[in-house]
Amino acid sequence: MPISYDHERGLFTIDTDRSTYQMMVDGYGYLMHLYYGAKSSGSMDWLLSFVDRGLSANPYDAGTDRTYSLDFLPQEFPVQGTGDHRSPMLILRDSNGTFGCDLRFRRYEIQKGKYALKGLPAVYADAPDDAETLRIVLGNDRTGVEVELLYGVLPHLDIITRSSVITNGGKGRITVEKLGSACLDFVAGDFDVITFHGRHTLEMQKERMRTPHGTLMLGSRRGYSSHQYNPFFILADHGTTETAGRCWSMQFVYSGGFRAEIEHDQYDQTRIQMGMADEKFSYPLDPGESLTAPEVIMSFSRNGLQDLSHDLHKCIREHVCRGKYRDVPRTVIINSWEACYFRFTGDKLLDLAQKAKDLGMEMLVLDDGWFGDRRDDYRALGDWYANEEKLGMTLGELVKGVNDIGLKFGIWIEPEMISEDSDLYREHPDWAMAIPNDKPVLGRNQLVLDFSRKEVVDTIYEQICAVLDQGNIEYMKWDCNRSINDVYSYTASDQGKVMYDYVLGLYDMLGRLNDRYPDMLIEGCSGGGGRFDCGMLYYTPQIWASDNSDAIDRLVIQYGLSYGYPACTVGAHVSACPNHQTGRVTPIMTRTIVALSGTFGYELDPDKIPEEEKQGIRKGIDLYKKYERLVHNGLYYRLSDAGTDRYTAWEFASEDGTEALVLMVVPENHGNAPTIYVTPRGLTSGAEYKDEETGTVYSADALMDAGFPTPVVDDDRESFMFHLVRL
């Protein structure tokens, strides 16, 4: 049993295959966090240290015992107002406007299977025996408030999930000012924190730093994750590497604003926590009402960052992503955007489809510009009907024409947005997020629809379904190209609810589309990687990683994503050169190698590329088809430090060790440069491997110890591919 409870000692223990998580109900009814680390046995209550800390406050129950203070004891769910002056998980205001809520243990329940969350995405298990759930209820007598702590355990993946649900069991209204999902207290340790910052067109830039005294806060105030900070971070021992050392991760299953904190306190203890952003959040609950915090995925590795990533990849690939495309390698796409932007007709799209078919591509995706009076990005968002005058045909006729050529058809939408110059805005101006009697903040010339309102979501859903029902549309790209600034809903009972309820509306629409069109692939996008998170992956099993398709910049972006997300979720395409974002010229094979480490596709106009590149496209599609299963399901290994080392190398290895694909790009060449040796991992010890191209046979152990020399680099941005097959 992964979860056990020792009644005599009040001890909860969660065991996975390689880790143990332990907490204890103490004599005062507080839930203490004891341990999360390598698999262990027995009680770890000896980790608690009781010392008179001077000005640290003591609970009234402790009487004259000044050695007991929540100001320094490790806790599972720290609450504001209990004498703990570190960052809390819960800030509550009661009907009198008073802050504070002293929570004590009430009851628990252990269940087979994995819990689900009302209205929110969550990790799931395919069968009840694959997971267990622990429910612990804490309560407060004065307010009648109860908080249910949820723990989901996937023992074979070393994954523990956490969430919390607060219920107003009292007689008056309460207001939740902050509600966290997961917290870990470490009583000792010398830690680094690894975060992933960025901006539009340069997301997921890894940064590693020593945890300083004080609080390091990262998050998003923009209504969405995650251009600036991804909702994922790692805490690691200072000496942890890819293959050695302890590390812990937290990853948010939520697509709205978030707040993650790493606090190193006065006694050199460290608290990490994750939850919803508390800015613009103030959620009232009347008697009987509940509020559910989104889920956090946690994992631990004592063998370095590599194992941590492998567990997270498998969890997301098999227990977050759902539906037909969870296990299916993706279709090779050509997207119309960089081929023609807004300048197209139906005939031009059919011509593009024919040329794409001739090159071996499998799907045409019609990007922005097909609906309403959409001539540019100043108008028509919200008018979701095909512009037949512009197309010169109906959408159904266009879809059929593309299908007749032999390609599948996909379409782009941006359903959360509205243009002031649109029929929908003229009819329903109050459906846009805007503060009354004030000019709204514009982003990309558009406003945000109020998805916290059911009638808004229902209307957009019906419009999009009417579009999708016109033909055999097998793919939809869901875009979202601005942040939420003016937080105001004309129908909300309290504006502090709007940001949370907006995300529930988003998930409601995505869930209905998944149910109605189970054979359609939905790709998430938010100006690229502005909403690359596990919440979206629950509904959209791939996400466009960045609006920057430059292969050299993508090396670092996709490297950052690899720490927490599997390659099969990473939207990546080969684009034209000079690149439309950076102006850089990169060989077609280098662009191909980078893109095939994701979902693979193309962003270009076949009429504007030389014949040599067309041959490169045909070869690239053949390579993708050959290795798509290995990339989709294989173990991912980081073999260098992208952006720091002279080269970037990575590997996909089959779990059974029968084959490995090693990929490498050298961004810059230098005179008389040393030979580059690449050291693969994940091979079968004692076996031999053959390089499929050169025929060279290697000892697996020597390869994983010394590496192999790579060819001489002749030019900048050169790339290499090595397919190793076990003999």
CA distance 401 to 419: 31
Quick one: tokens of 67? 């050695």
For the chain, the distance separating the N- and C-terminal CA atoms, rounded to the nearest angstrom, is 40
Torsion of CA 681, 682, 686, 691, to 10 degrees: -70
CA distance 567 to 404: 32
470 secondary structure, DSSP code: T
Q: Is the bond preceding 88 in cis, omega lying within 30 degrees of 0?
A: no
Reduced to 3 states (helix: H, G, I; strand: E, B; else coil), residue 537 is: helix
Burial class (CB in 10 A: 0-12, 13-18, 19+), 472: middle
Tokens 């540019």 sit on residue: 376
Q: Are 364 and 340 in contact (CB under 8 A)?
A: no
CA distance 255 to 478: 13
CA distance 331 to 361: 8
CA distance 593 to 454: 44
- 136 bridge partner residues: 108, 149
Angle between helices 454-468 and 498-516 (to 10 degrees): 30
Length of the chain: 727
H/E stretch holding 484 reads: none
- 38 bridge partner residues: 19
Burial letters 666-678, b for 16+ CB under 10 A, else e: bbeeeeeeeebeb
CA distance 661 to 312: 21
Q: Are 268 and 53 in contact (CB under 8 A)?
A: no
CA 401 to chain centre: 36
Torsional sign, CA 27, 30, 35, 36: positive
CA distance 236 to 193: 6
H/E stretch holding 168 reads: strand 159-168
DSSP 312-351: HHHHHHHHTS-SGGGSSPPPPEEESHHHHTT---HHHHHH
How would you classify the pairing of strands 104-112 and 258-264? Answer: unpaired
Q: Are 370 and 387 in contact (CB under 8 A)?
A: yes
Q: Are 246 and 305 in contact (CB under 8 A)?
A: no
Q: Which residues are catalytic?
A: 533, 613
Quick one: tokens of 198? 């960025």
Q: Are 627 and 691 in contact (CB under 8 A)?
A: no
Tokens 């143990």 sit on residue: 20
Residue 102: CA count within 13 A, CB half-sphere: 12
Tokens 């996400």 sit on residue: 543
Q: Are 414 and 381 in contact (CB under 8 A)?
A: yes
Q: Is the bond preceding 226 in cis, omega lying within 30 degrees of 0?
A: yes
Contacts within 8 Å (CB) and 24+ apart, 458-461:
460/382, 460/384, 460/415, 460/509, 461/509, 461/512, 461/513
Other residues' Cβ atoms within 10 Å of the Cβ of residue 28: 14
Reduced to 3 states (helix: H, G, I; strand: E, B; else coil), residue 481 is: coil
Q: Are 277 and 224 in contact (CB under 8 A)?
A: no
Tokens 């491997």 sit on residue: 689
